[in-house]
Amino acid sequence: MLKAISNFYVVTLLFCTLTVGLILSSSTTSSASTTADAAVTVGSACSMTATVDTPHNAEVPNGTNRTEIGTTTLNTICNDSGGFAIYAVGYSNNEYGNNTMINQADSNITFNTGTATSGSNSNWSMKLSQVTTGTFATTIDNSFNNYHNVPATYTKVAHRDSATDAVSANPATGTSISATYQTFISPTQASGTYQGKVKYTMVHPASEIPAQPQTATSGCINYFANTTTAEGTMGCQSISASATSATLLASNFSRTGYGFAGWSDAYDYETNPNAHFYGPQEDITFTAGQYTGANNGLALYAVWVKSAGSLQDASKVATLCGTGTGSLTTAPTDGTANLASVSALTDERDNETYAIAKLADGKCWMIENLRLEAENTRTAEKQALAQGYGASTTYGNFSGLADAESASFSSTYSANSLYYSGTQSGTASINIGTYNYPGNRMPRYNNLNTQSRASNPTSNIFSSDNTVGGMYSYGNYYTWHAAIANLTYNGYNNISTISTSLCPTGWRLPRSGDKTRITSNDDNDFWNLIVDAINGGTNPANYDSQTMPYYTDASEAGPVVAKLRNYPNNFIYSGYFRGSSAYGRGSGGDYWSFTAYDYSSSYAMDLNNSPRAYPGTANDSKYEGHSIRCTVSAST
């Protein structure tokens, strides 16, 4: 069962159905489902429901002053130590900010919000008042103790700034807040049944601000972080008037404690049943000119998934990735995947949070590229959290990652990232934090590295000189020996001998290999995902058991590559590094497996926009810098 993917809890109420001179039908009520979310160290569970106390309808004669037309009790439960807040906004006709009351027979006849008790203009208003006190009693904003205009943007109407006693208290105590509505009907107001709505949203902690719809620039795809707590910026992706498709941009946003799961065309994707979800670099189609009219660009919103716990927590992983109560659903491959297949977990080694999903093969995968980096202060305990680290003197202290930088990547000889040293065959080594010819360095991209992260990326590629970073979603690049966390092993097609990797304990690099050298599809995780699950068990037409199998014909490769990049698979064109040069960023992606091809090469999954897809059967030089995606442990 999917946990909450953000800290917003929404209740939309159909309020204030009233009739001037007519008897009204009753109103309806909907409420947010009860959801629990948890941080790595401190769990928090918050929910909000609504109960209609008196019907939101009335027969109101013309000229009546301040007639109350119903109350609803908002019941909140929240043990977040940072408190919580409730925001309200007009939502008539299911439109954010619409705070008018609309005649149900004639939508052109409306009346606005207001607090007047006499005059020529009909209006309606609201007030909130505290019902219960106790452990979770809130403080109602003073301006809302009396009747107030229905707000046109999210406005805080109640809050509790802290709940430090929540852990020891009984969460069932909760807080109840009464929402009451009143109208003034002018003598000239047309008779009929009118209806208005107010949407209430709970956010926690109290310092959080709810997401709101944004306006995209004409002729642009604009990407919005959809929160005030994210880092990074993104610019306009231009759309020509004749364009009918676009490849979306990988994300340059990061948010502490949240995984990035993709893009949505709805700011309220968590509760909006019409929300669409897209992979970070998914191809979308549209009508020519659709987004080039005045104020008619495309607004896309980052989909954030709040951490449900630790990547190293075997029990949590088993729950999410299993088949019982609370487990994620398996994502379909037809583009209809919703949030039920997605969660997020945090790597205890560096507190980076990754979105995970149960993909079509039934296994859980990280759906973001690994961003783990060297940390000179990392304790032995945290080092041991990597799969197979333990106390080995060979790689017990090996991180295989970039050391902290004090200068930009354009500096000359100071090695600020991992690099390969030695011949392409024989014993290889990874040197960290020493000096080396800069031609063998690979830049890293992470929210701590401001000098190699673009301030306003507008494309899927980086600058031509490779000195300016770009997409946070690209993650870091690792040589194969860094990926397997073993400086000495070179192996030749013997997957049973490699038990180490940079993946968190309980996770691993995917298996891979030439189909002629493994016993079944299940021995090749990439093959099992792509060929068996995504492509329905259909082998490539040009598959030959004596050669490396791959999809190369456009009619075969196009749909396969598209599905790999679609939500929630999210395999992106992060490219790869050879020496100091980047290749394929924005047009291809390379992902390491733990299966060696020979002493100098290892198997990887490659995909590109040719289109072409190698389902874990390409063999690449071990000294190249590839991306890493971790999957569930070998026991699964």
What pLDDT digit, counting tens, does each position of 62-112 carry? 766 678 888 888 888 887 778 888 899 999 988 899 999 998 889 899 989
The answer to the question of residue 469 being in a domain is no
How large is the greatest C-alpha to C-alpha distance in the chain, in angstroms? 93
Which residue range(s) make up the domain with 115? 8-203
Q: How far is CA 507 from CA 365, 384, 388, 628, in A?
A: 9, 13, 10, 12
The answer to the question of residue 554 being in a domain is no
> Residue 585 carries which side chain, given as an amino acid letter?
R
Which residues lie below 8 Å from residue 392, measured CB to CB, with a gap of 6+?
none
User: Which pLDDT does position 375 carry in this prediction?
Assistant: 47
User: Dihedral through CA 393, CA 396, CA 398, CA 403, nearest 10?
Assistant: -120
The per-residue DSSP string of 20-72 comes to: ESSPPPPP-B--PPPEEEE-SSSEEEEEEEEEEEE-S--B--TT--SEEEEEE
Segment 212-241 shows an average pLDDT of 90
- Asked if 455 and 465 touch (Cβ cutoff 8 Å), the reply is no
Which tens digits make up the pLDDT trace of 18-69?
Answer: 333 222 222 222 223 332 332 223 346 788 888 888 888 877 777 666 788 8
With CA atoms as reference, report the closest residue to 260 among 225, 228, 235.
225
Lowest-pLDDT choice from 247-261, 324-338, 622-636: 622-636
Lowest-pLDDT choice from 77-81, 117-121, 327-331, 617-621: 117-121
The answer to the question of residue 159 being in a domain is yes
Encode 329-348 in three state secondary structure.
CCCCCCCCCCHHHEEEEEEC
How many whole angstroms separate alpha carbon 107 and alpha carbon 391?
A: 72
600 φ, ψ (degrees, to nearest 5): -115, -10
Structural domains in the chain (count): 1
The answer to the question of residue 191 being in a domain is yes
Chain position carrying tokens 């599809």 = 521
DSSP character at residue 386: B
User: Which pLDDT does position 330 carry in this prediction?
Assistant: 95
Q: Which residues face 128 on adjacent strands?
A: 179
- 3-class DSSP assignment, residue 398: coil
pLDDT band at 235 (very low <50, low <70, confident <90, very high): confident
- Asked if 523 and 634 touch (Cβ cutoff 8 Å), the reply is no
The answer to the question of residue 403 being in a domain is no
The answer to the question of residue 63 being in a domain is yes
Angle at 315 between CA 309 and CA 320, to 5 degrees: 70
User: Which pLDDT does position 491 carry in this prediction?
Assistant: 75
The answer to the question of residue 436 being in a domain is no
Q: How far is CA 265 from the centre of its chain?
A: 13
The answer to the question of residue 38 being in a domain is yes
Lookup: tokens for 60: 């109101």
Residue positions counted in the chain? 636
More confident residue, 478 or 635: 478
